[in-house]
Structure 1
């Protein structure tokens, strides 16, 4: 476990930094750095187990007066205090109490883990950057309120853009490119996964093929007919969809030679409609929709509880040593007549113990899901662009006990944490999403060629 030290700002102008005796460098330390700012100063050892910086140094480094224990990194003759973590997003408002609108509470909770991590995180957008000064007017959550401090560019940036639309904005793309290329700042969790892209990349790995249901971009009615014959039902989903929106389940009844479509209307009503042919179903349900933006996926006969299908949400995170670990696991039970288990479709979040009271069965389910999640996390990291630090998986388990991947999300939603019994998982996922910044900062110092390859 890495050590972090409490930071004390001394109310004098001695231009000095005092470091604990247990912190030893191979060469004499002559510089101190915070974020991308650094300056020459006198650095001395002292007996106390804290870092002390004089007020004039804090002002020059633009070190905010926030009491958070920090990690200390040594790079040749420089002492780096960090990590300073910039959380990049959009959707800011002029209201001081809710500066990021409805997501203000989420960000407040995310930033509140700073002391347990030993990092100093802040939220910012494109409009908060002072390019000429190399600083950012960052939003910090401190003492139960939002406060703005001007700080240097951060050591690492955590991408929390809210949707694909914001991600496509030219000015936001340019910010990302400039901070990564010109300032060599590691940027983690960039981009939203594209469902078919993920499937095609994972398909190339034999060791995880068993988890992948047959999935194709829409090509013809005859392919859907063939898949219905093979599996009994299929799902048609938007390639870039989220929150279960736009998902349709098509079922084929061999005895009556009829087709059914289950879906959710925009008003929230769940529908199940019968058709005599696949053509009439497709023409009625998907009239005016671009089927080239849809994918067709094998239906799975899922485990059920009280006659309702169950699937599972697993979060994985990279920790402060750069290792993948499972950080949350929950069951999602479908609402009555719902095509998905999403909460906004009437789904209910439960702990694994609530769904599987048997200790033996629960342990077996957890082990299977954990194994699948960790294997898939490593493969996604190898096959996708950018630095990935967290993933949310939606898995199903069929009646034979096989695990199936339905979806992988680079920016997983947090609706499962509305269940109060998942409070510890909620905290752990937030903590780890920032703890990974410690690892990235250290790697950017010791092995930048691995980070920026």
Structure 2
């Protein structure tokens, strides 16, 4: 929920020093205290009607209100990014959009790389000045943090581990805390009675279990438990002369023909990426214009309850084993696909899809102690209209559909406000 933007935060360069002040926008006849404090505590800033001399570096609209003998300014949020040579590592266009949405709603938001998180009331974060221009400035300690560290490797760095420890010590809430692990997610769903929503899944990969799954199913996927955008995924399909093995790496699919199960295992051992894998039945999915497709569903927590923000369809490219757009997939309208495939049953199929993903989100969130704020899910729908859970992502990629994108941005800010009590 947005607040009245009746003031602005202003940063000015004064020689080698950066001054940071609060300037009321409706000052006539109003006598403000000399200083304002942030709702989360810590830093106090001078309140000034007339800006002091200096070069204005940045300004942001914000809410200012009197509470007794002092004034309070806020809210202040931060996006947690990876540490890097150019200040920080992350999806800068996404950060730009999130910051702009926060600004619209009267909140100040900045990017904080993990190595800049520290004990104390003043942190050094980044704000966007223009096209590909980011400025490092002193910022007040945030009241809540949105975790968008872009890779698992960066999330394991000592600076990221220390940042989370500081958040815990200082009582700064954060979502989402970490990337999901596929094996853990499947285990949570099975433990809570949602196995009917899951394709047949084996949580560990070895030769014996792979051969057993190949005997049960004509096609299986081997998925890295900690993978993303399909890198390292392997699909094995039964053929008349043996098996076809398709391997996706760096956006390219390579195919191999194996005549024996032993040959399949040798190929898998050679082509797999490091780390744990799960084996999963390849469920037959509905097609759109001759290509298999699945549904990407975005969910966010609103007032403590999980809601579907939007859903889209991703269609696999020719010869591809996933529907990820970066790997050659394309986008289709979810309603149009359901209507074309199921006709009068489309609404009922959609209701079953929504019910299943909300239930799954509740289970996953419970397994993460209620610390999640958003997630996306990849869901397949079979020709009978039954939904199948493929995976969940704690840090959803940007949805290209404009209405979903807008709702998702507003939902992020709403979740930060909820976490911070603002």
Q: Same fold (TM over 0.5)?
A: yes
Q: Name 2:19's counterpart in structure 1.
A: none
1:355 to 337, 340, 348: 337
| Gaps in structure 2 of 5+ consecutive residues | 8-22
Partners of 2:402 and 2:248 lie apart in 1 by 30
Q: Name 2:413's counterpart in structure 1.
A: 434
Aligned-pair Cα RMSD in Å: 3.3
1:286 maps to 2:269: yes
Partners of 2:65 and 2:386 lie apart in 1 by 46
Q: TM-score, normalised by structure 2?
A: 0.83
| Maintained 8 Å contact 1:68/1:114 | no
1:423 to 399, 402, 407: 402
Map 1:366-377 onto structure 2 (within 5 A): 366-377=350-361
Q: Shift of the alpha carbon at 1:377?
A: 1.3
1:203 maps to 2:182: no
| Maintained 8 Å contact 1:137/1:148 | yes
2:126 to 111, 136, 139: 139
What secondary structure sits across from 1:203 in the alignment?
helix
1:84 maps to 2:90: no
Deviations 1:351-390 (A, max 9, x none): 2144344574543343232222211111111112461111
Deviations 1:43-78 (A, max 9, x none): xxxxxxxxxx9328999xxxx97343549798x998
Q: Shift of the alpha carbon at 1:91?
A: 4.2
Taking a change above 3 Å as real, the CA distance of residues 437 and 214 of structure 1, as seen in their structure-2 partners, is same
Partners of 1:284 and 1:209 lie apart in 2 by 30
Q: Name 2:324's counterpart in structure 1.
A: 342
2:32 to 16, 19, 33: 16
What secondary structure sits across from 1:4 in the alignment?
coil
Partners of 1:429 and 1:308 lie apart in 2 by 28
Q: Shift of the alpha carbon at 1:225?
A: 3.0
Q: Shift of the alpha carbon at 1:121?
A: 1.1
What secondary structure sits across from 1:428 in the alignment?
helix
2:48 to 46, 55, 63: 55
1:306 maps to 2:289: yes
Q: TM-score, normalised by structure 1?
A: 0.77
Q: Name 2:233's counterpart in structure 1.
A: 247
2:41 to 36, 40, 44: 36
| Maintained 8 Å contact 2:63/2:106 | yes
Task: Return structure 1 stretches of 4+ with deviation > 6 angstroms.
Answer: 56-59, 71-74, 76-79
| Maintained 8 Å contact 2:296/2:313 | yes
Deviations 1:407-439 (A, max 9, x none): 11111222x41xxxx111112112211220111
| Gaps in structure 1 of 5+ consecutive residues | 19-29, 41-52, 444-453
| Maintained 8 Å contact 1:315/1:329 | yes
Q: Shift of the alpha carbon at 1:152?
A: 1.8
